[in-house]
């Protein structure tokens, strides 16, 4: 009898501990969780945007510099919205930046990446449409300047993509970091 009473008390406590509460004051908000997890919530220029980072991915570090970039999910190019074509910087087999533009030569393009836990949509600094994106754009905003330093010469072509050797330089509040020996992979 005593054993049954103890089991019933434990079962009641366990059920109460597992029940869902509709009281928002006891729950953890997205900003609280992001801060606890070491990831900033979306910035002001990203209001309403969904995350483009791979789920459960570890940050990618360059051999020198302190900036950390998060690998991007396969659907990250959708964050760019309507573009006529675009490119992706691939480093150690992971996409760290996607950039795209309209065909219009007046378009500066834009790129999306996750720097030190912050998802950023950065505008291009030079007009030229797809040609500027393919040749290696410079993007700037929110205290960062991101430059793709694309190699010269003819690209290798495979699966409808053109690829060049490239480096990615990130300048920001903590200094400069270069992700070296990557690829700039473009589709049109």
Q: What is the mean pLDDT of the chain?
A: 81
Decide if 142 contacts 45 (C-beta within 8 A).
Answer: yes
149 to 134, 146, 170: CA distances (angstroms): 11, 10, 11
- Output the CA torsion sign for 167, 132, 153, 112: positive
pLDDT digits (tens, 9 = 90+) for 5-61: 444 444 444 444 444 444 444 444 444 433 433 333 344 344 334 589 888 889 999
In the three-class reduction of DSSP (H, G, I as helix; E, B as strand; rest coil), residue 3 is classed as: helix
Q: How far apart are CA 53 and CA 70, in angstroms?
A: 6
pLDDT digits (tens, 9 = 90+) for 104-139: 999 999 999 999 999 999 999 999 999 999 999 999
Sorted by sequence, the CB contacts under 8 Å of residue 152 that are 6+ apart come out as none
Decide if 111 contacts 92 (C-beta within 8 A).
Answer: no
Sorted by sequence, the CB contacts under 8 Å of residue 66 that are 6+ apart come out as 174, 175, 177
* Angle, CA 151 vertex, CA 157 and CA 74 arms, to 5°: 55
Nearest to 72 by CA among 43, 94, 47: 94
Whole-structure pTM value: 0.73
Q: CB-side exposure of 84: number of CA atoms within 13 Å?
A: 15
């Amino acid at each position: 009898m005593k054993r049954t009473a103890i089991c019933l008390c434990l079962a009641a406590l366990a059920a109460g501990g597992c029940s869902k509460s509709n009281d928002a004051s006891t729950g953890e908000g997205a900003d609280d969780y992001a801060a606890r997890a070491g990831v900033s919530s979306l910035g002001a220029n990203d209001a309403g945007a969904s995350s483009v980072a791979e789920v459960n991915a570890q940050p990618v570090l360059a051999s020198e510099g302190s900036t950390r970039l998060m690998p991007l999910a396969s659907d990250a190019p959708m964050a760019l919205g309507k573009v006529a074509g675009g490119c992706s910087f691939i480093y150690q087999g992971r996409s760290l930046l996607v950039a795209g533009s309209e065909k219009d030569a007046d378009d500066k393009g834009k790129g999306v990446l996750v720097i030190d836990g912050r998802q950023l949509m950065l505008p291009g600094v030079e007009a030229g449409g797809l040609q500027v994106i393919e040749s290696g754009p410079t993007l700037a905003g929110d205290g960062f300047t991101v430059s793709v330093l694309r190699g010269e010469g003819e690209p290798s072509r495979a699966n409808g993509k053109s690829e060049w050797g490239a480096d990615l330089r990130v300048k920001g509040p903590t200094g400069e970091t270069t992700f070296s020996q990557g690829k700039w992979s473009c589709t049109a």
